[in-house]
Amino acid sequence: MLALLTRDLRLAFRAGGGFGLGLAFFLLVAVLVPLGVGPEGAVLARIAPGILWVGALLACLLSLDRLFALDVEDGSLDLLATAPMPLEVVVALKALAHWLVTGLPLTLAAPVLGLLLFLPEAGYPWLVAALALGTPALSVIGAFGAALTVGVKRGGLLLSLLVLPLYVPTLIFGAEAVKRGAAALDGTTPLVLMAGITLGAVALLPFAAAAAIRINLR
């Protein structure tokens, strides 16, 4: 089982794997927003939690369409489907690899970008906690969307259309937790609700995604 994870990580880090693209995109969002909104600290501080969350969400979305498409192209997914590893596990491991390559670096980089957006000091722990607990859901939900669209040529846009509405609850609770934290309030309630969504998604969506892949392989 570890073999699939290490292979996916190795593929991401080798040339053309796309590691760091999401991170660079996240940085770009944090730079472009002040350029568009204006340099006023008070305004930026107010919108920083939302911008950081929307940026993280879009950065996650960027690499999703390759999640299964490359494995379908070279036949790996056919072979994995006949391998002793259940397809549900394959999906879960690939989502985990996606999180390690995008969600985790985004979480770690977010405080630096918070600095650029004048996020109030009290918000930092909440930002890191919310992204750490929320980005796994983004990867798993994204894996489900990628599984649905794996048979569609140039399915990237369709994938965004399917996945973004599913991201709504995570976005709302995640950004709310950071917003409350930044205002020196207690953000535990939204944080816990978001963690609940993450747990539910991680537990159930691999089954839906594996079903979608089986349908697409037929």
Helix axes 87-98, 66-73, angle to 10 degrees: 130
- Judge whether 216 and 144 are in contact, CB under 8 Å: no
Spatial distance between the Cα atoms of 197 and 135, rounded to a whole number of angstroms:
11
Q: Which of 43, 45, 58, 85 binds other proteins (CB under 8 A)?
A: 85
Spatial distance between the Cα atoms of 140 and 201, rounded to a whole number of angstroms:
7
Instruction: Report the residue number, 29 or 85, with the smaller CB distance to other proteins.
Output: 85
Buried b (16+ CB within 10 A) or exposed e, 120-134: eeebbebbbbbbbbb
Spatial distance between the Cα atoms of 182 and 184, rounded to a whole number of angstroms:
5
Q: Site residues for other proteins, window 42-81 (CB under 8 A)?
A: 71, 73-76, 78-81
Q: Which of 108, 161, 199, 203 binds other proteins (CB under 8 A)?
A: 161
Q: 2 Cβ partners below 8 Å, 6+ apart?
A: none
| Shortest Cβ 47–other proteins spacing (Å) | 14
Mark the segment that binds other proteins (CB under 8 A) among 1-9, 24-32, 38-46, 100-108.
Answer: 1-9
Asked if 144 is part of the footprint of other proteins (rule: CB under 8 A), the reply reads: yes
Mark the segment that binds other proteins (CB under 8 A) among 18-26, 101-109, 110-118, 143-151.
Answer: 143-151
- Judge whether 151 and 216 are in contact, CB under 8 Å: yes
Asked if 217 is part of the footprint of other proteins (rule: CB under 8 A), the reply reads: yes
Mark the segment that binds other proteins (CB under 8 A) among 22-30, 39-47, 180-188, 189-197.
Answer: 189-197
| Dihedral sign from CA coordinates of 42, 46, 49, 55 | negative
Residue 107 dihedral angles phi and psi, to the nearest 5°: -60, -45
- Judge whether 102 and 59 are in contact, CB under 8 Å: yes
Asked if 7 is part of the footprint of other proteins (rule: CB under 8 A), the reply reads: yes
Instruction: Report the residue number, 34 or 190, with the smaller CB distance to other proteins.
Output: 190
Asked if 185 is part of the footprint of other proteins (rule: CB under 8 A), the reply reads: no
Asked if 156 is part of the footprint of other proteins (rule: CB under 8 A), the reply reads: no
Asked if 190 is part of the footprint of other proteins (rule: CB under 8 A), the reply reads: yes
Residues that bind other proteins (CB under 8 A): 2-4, 7, 10-11, 14-17, 71, 73-76, 78-85, 144, 148-149, 151-152, 155, 158, 161-162, 164-166, 168-169, 172-173, 176, 190, 193, 197, 205, 208, 211-212, 215-218
